[in-house]
Chains A and B, each alone.
Chain A
Amino acid sequence: MKAFTQLHGLVCAMDRANVDTDAIIPKQFLKSIKRSGFGPNLFDEWRYLDHGEPGMDNSQRPLNPDFELNLPRYAGAQILLARDNFGCGSSREHAPWAIEDFGFRALIAPSFADIFFNNCFKNGLLPIVQPAEVVDQLFRETQEAEGYRLHIDLAAQTITTPSGQVFSFDITEHRKACLLNGWDEIGLTLRHADEIRAFEDKRKQEQPWLFA
């Protein structure tokens, strides 16, 4: 996993609530057996004017000029500013894969759906929850100033605006350590293999029917 330490990134504001995983990556793209290459189909139904299918040459497809990601001012954005309940719907990790593959490294919203939130951390993406007023302010500032960038410092758990205003955010120690170091979580867990085995043996004694 790519480590995440600091980011000074352009912000793309996406002003809609309840953006669901079917919108983030439509199901026809879930048929892939790979982890990469989903970026060109991120928000496919909103981003293009035609219907997308796997295997198409996306560079030839007509773009929806009104859709946020297509606005020239947001080209190269690395921070996605979103509204409530972002990522609701399915557990598909293709959603964070597509967001990451597109080039985003962090997301800021008043709330995220649980499974999506969790999936982000496994892919070097940092989802940040901020109070609604802060998100409102960031939306205003992003929309008013072209080229609006935020500075995110994971170690310090802060977001700094261009005017120097600082907002802090929460993250569990475990997730922070994994992101900062780009650790493979499975490897970390397997360091406790003995404990897992001991737990399992006890369980086998107590509830043998679970191990039939």
Chain B
Amino acid sequence: MSSKTLYDKLWESHIVRQEADGTCLIYIDRHLVHEVTSPQAFEGLKLAGRQLWRKSSIVSTADHNTPTNEWDKGIQDPISRTQVETLDANIREFGALAYYPFKNINQGIVHVIGPEHGATLPGMTVVCGDSHTSTHGAFAALAHGIGTSEVEHVMATQTLVAKKSKAMLVRVDGELGFGVTAKDVALAIIGKIGTAGGTGYAIEFGGSAIRGLSMEGRMTLCNMAIEGGARAGMVAFDEKTAEYLQGREFAPKGEQWDKAVAYWNTLKSDEGAQFDAVVELDASEIAPQVTWGTSPEQVLPVTAVVPNPADQADPVKQASYTRALQYMGLEADTPITDIPVDKVFIGSCTNSRIEDLRAAAKVVKGRKKADNVKLVLIVPGSGLVKRQAEEEGLDKIFIDAGFEWREPGCSMCLAMNADRLEPGERCASTSNRNFEGRQGQGGRTHLVSPEMAAAAAIAGHFVDIRSFA
């Protein structure tokens, strides 16, 4: 029997049928639905007079458009409100396994709530009309984002038409240094392979440094797989996966649990399995990372200086560096630690889990926000995370430091609600995209870990967390 990769196993176990040209019909176990990419899909179903194939595969929430404060006032923006109400009406009409609407105590970012309710399980295919669905691959699941036509296709048929990707192994061995997090590993990988480096691949993250990460850390890493161009990222099943899932609402119980774990234990790449590409990193060489440009691949260690476009040989790259520096309002050769910040955002499906908030709070405890920092937003990923943080007193630490403690949602990750940057404002953000205008038109985003964001809020500029004790 030939050796198989984790991706081979996940793919093959979901093939309903295969055409001669390799196009497959793939069965979908879990469908996460949110308000932005679903209305047109529901409308399509209705117009064609179709039903949901299996409503118990759907877990839904409103997250992108929901406000993060003054919930009692509802959603002020009428267009956002219509979108959220449309989801509400659709789920009420069509049904779902679980629905966490606006203001529900378990509402949150779709990629945070799936795992925390045990709705994401090893061996599943998980899809959502959202590119960061790759997050769920942390559970040895095949998870990726889809467009709205495919959302409708999954709703109506429980399948997707797809072709198998190539397999890439990103192996990170060794031990991460003090202050270096899963976010830094993700950014370092993207810095190395580029934002298109993973295009056409499904990435498996392996190696001792990955095994050493918590489930939260693995989710952060898989979340960013898409920023490296790969639709799916994944990590093999191990005791940590089991430990995280045990006892969660939709996870199997009793005898079923034992049966499930026995199967899940096979969800790893076999010894000697062949990958189409292998990328290796030494964990001990990864420093805390900060992006300086308008693409996640424009990233450097915090100890570096802003690059000089003149040093780039490739003219297309040179032009994009020049354009990025201009947009970001940065001079070449400026030390990254000299860059001041106007706002700080700790949140998003990349870094809004309890572990992220604990790490940020540890840096902040007993300190105050710098005067030049206008706003620090702490936005927990879900109602569950929020309550847990409050039980641990983390909210107090943030509020005492002059930060704002908000309700869960996507918030300033993409600024579809009222939380946004004004033109020219510079932000240390724990989110995943530093594209032009992502956090508000003209806004300037630097991607960092929660610890680095918290430290920047205190110092008023970027600092090397390793010397910020």
Interface residues of chain A, those whose CB is within 8 Å of chain B, are: 16-18, 20, 22-23, 26-28, 30-35, 45, 51, 54-55, 83-85, 88-93, 96, 111-115, 118-119, 122-123, 172-174, 184-186, 189-190, 192-193, 195-196, 199-200, 203, 207-212
Contacts and interface: CB of A to CB of B under 8 A. Distances in A.
A174 B16 contact: no
Interface in B233-278: 250-252, 256-257, 259-260, 263
Interface in B126-165: 129-131, 133, 144-150, 152-153, 156-159, 161, 163, 165
Contacts of A189: 25, 153, 156-157, 159, 161
Contact of B147 (A26, A119, A210): A119
Q: What 8 pairs across the A-B complex have the smallest Cβ distances?
A: A209-B252, A122-B149, A119-B147, A33-B39, A91-B145, A93-B147, A85-B196, A93-B148
B437 interface: yes
A22 B436 contact: yes
22 contacts: A18-B195, A18-B320, A22-B414, A26-B437, A27-B416, A30-B64, A31-B79, A33-B83, A54-B79, A83-B316, A85-B199, A89-B433, A90-B145, A91-B147, A92-B36, A114-B165, A174-B23, A196-B16, A196-B27, A199-B27, A209-B121, A209-B256
A92 B435 CA distance: 15
B65 interface: yes
A2 to B, nearest CB: 13
Interface in B40-95: 40, 43, 48, 50, 53-54, 56, 64-65, 77, 79-80, 82-83, 86
B433 A207 contact: no
A113 B229 contact: yes
A192 B229 CA distance: 32
Given A33-B39, A186-B153, A186-B157, A207 B441 contact: no
Nearest to A193: B157
B152 A186 contact: yes
Interface in B189-213: 195-196, 199-200
B132 to A, nearest CB: 8
Contacts of A35: 40, 43, 148
A186 B51 CA distance: 12
Contact of B416 (A31, A199, A207): A31
Contacts of A200: 27, 54, 158
Contacts of B20: 173
Contacts of B121: 209-210
A186 B149 CA distance: 9
Contacts of A83: 316
B19 interface: yes
A209 B152 contact: no
A91 B146 CA distance: 6
B21 A185 contact: no
Nearest to A190: B157
Contacts of A84: 196, 316
B131 A115 contact: yes
A44 B250 CA distance: 42
B231 interface: yes
Nearest to B151: A93
A29 to B, nearest CB: 10
A113 B414 contact: no
A207 B159 contact: no
B156 A190 contact: yes
Given A31-B416, A45-B437, A54-B79, A114 B229 contact: yes
B295 interface: yes
Given A51-B441, A91-B131, A189-B156, 19 more contacts: A20-B433, A45-B437, A89-B435, A91-B145, A113-B199, A114-B229, A115-B145, A118-B150, A119-B150, A172-B21, A172-B23, A174-B23, A186-B153, A189-B161, A192-B25, A196-B158, A200-B27, A207-B260, A209-B260
A171 to B, nearest CB: 10
Contacts of B183: none
A16 B196 CA distance: 14
B415 interface: yes
Contacts of A184: 48
